Each structure stands twice: as C-alpha cells, then as structure tokens.
Amino acid sequence: MSVVRYPTAISPIKNQGVQDRHTHRGMRLEADINDTNAYYRECDKALIYKKPTPVQVVHVDYPARNKAKIVEAYYKTPSTTDYNGVYRGRYIDFEAKETKNKSQFPIGIVHPHQIQHLKKVQLHGGIGFFIVRFTSYNETYLIDAPLMIQAIERTTRSSISYSWFQKNGHQIQEGYIPRLDYLRIVDQIYFKEENS
C-alpha cells in the first residue's frame, strides 16, 4: 500500500483501493476548473494553472527496471491554495471547495494556512477568492476572499449557511465552453472601473 504523509497531523492519503473519505472530494469541480483554465490559455484570455503540491519521495520499489513504484512519500509543506496565475495584468490566486451538504458549508475544510495565504495575496495587491460548489444543487459560487475569510473568522459555528452563499456569493453559470466561466464574475467584481 502506498502512503503519502502530510506534515503536522494532517491525515495521510492511502492508495491501492483504500479510500480515505476526503480523497476524491472536489474532483468534479477541479476537472471543470481545469478544463476552463485550459480554454482560457488556448484563447489567450488568462494564464491560470493548478498548483502542484511539493512531495518528498521516501521509498521506491524496483521490482524491474521499467516498473519503479513509489511506495512512500510525504508532502513537504501544506499546500497553499489550488490555483494561481495572471489575468488582465493582475495576479490571481484561489481555492476551490466542494460540499455535498445541502444547508451548510463546513469551514473546517478551509485550512488556516490557506486563509493566511489569501490574506497575503490581498495585502500585495493580488486578486484572491474562493470557488465553492454545492453539489446537491449543482450550484457553484465565487466569493471574494476577504468576505469569506471574515465570515469564517467571525462565526462561532463550524459552518456557513448555504443561504449566506446565495446572498454574498456570485453564482457561476455552467456552460459547454468554457465549463465554468468564472472570469466573467472576476471582471464584474475586480475590474468594475476598467469595464465602464
């Protein structure tokens, strides 16, 4: 069984048939964003990529020269956010989260280091936001990072209500090409003056 170990008490991801409950969370949303970003790059609208997570390989099995298999690896550092890049001359950085919960978004899936990272993006003049999908409704929202961070830091609860996203988020319409045209919302929020 392959094991990837997280730093600082974050659960390991186990492969080879053993499924951790978080292993595939967000994969559909991630695929939609990746397809959208590929479209943006192809038509030179933006240059946005999924960030790779740095991994330290510890043990490799070599049953044969051409069949090397990584058996054990560790994440070097906790990942910051999922995506970053450049759009209209501005740095963009965002985190994508998905939940099956119909009435609430569990704030425990947003990690403190991700919040700190997005605060730094804002401090240095970048554009930071969250893309959150409620899979039960097939609704995806873009939320300005400072607004979402404020909601997370001010709540005494372990979640933010679905209705909060309806009120404060900007719903991203799904389409064929691009799949999730989130830059249309970015234009509305962050480039208001330039668009008028």
Tens digit of each residue's pLDDT (9 = 90 or more) over 71-91: 776 666 666 899 999 999 999
Least confident of 9-18, 100-109, 111-120: 9-18
The verdict on whether residue 95 carries a ligand-binding annotation is yes
The verdict on whether residue 8 carries a ligand-binding annotation is no
CATH assignment of 24-52+78-195, among 1.10.10.10, 3.40.1350.10, 3.90.1150.10, 3.90.1170.50: 3.40.1350.10
Burial class of residue 149 in the structure, from the number of CB atoms within 10 Å of its CB (0-12 exposed, 13-18 middle, 19+ buried): buried
The verdict on whether residue 166 carries a ligand-binding annotation is no
For 145-150, the CB contacts below 8 A with 24+ separation are 145/94, 145/118, 145/119, 145/121, 146/122, 148/110, 149/115, 149/118, 149/119
- Domain ranges for the chain, please list them: 24-52+78-195
Reported confidence tier of residue 41, pLDDT bands at 50, 70, 90: very high
pTM: 0.77
Q: Are 128 and 118 in contact (CB under 8 A)?
A: yes
The verdict on whether residue 77 carries a ligand-binding annotation is no
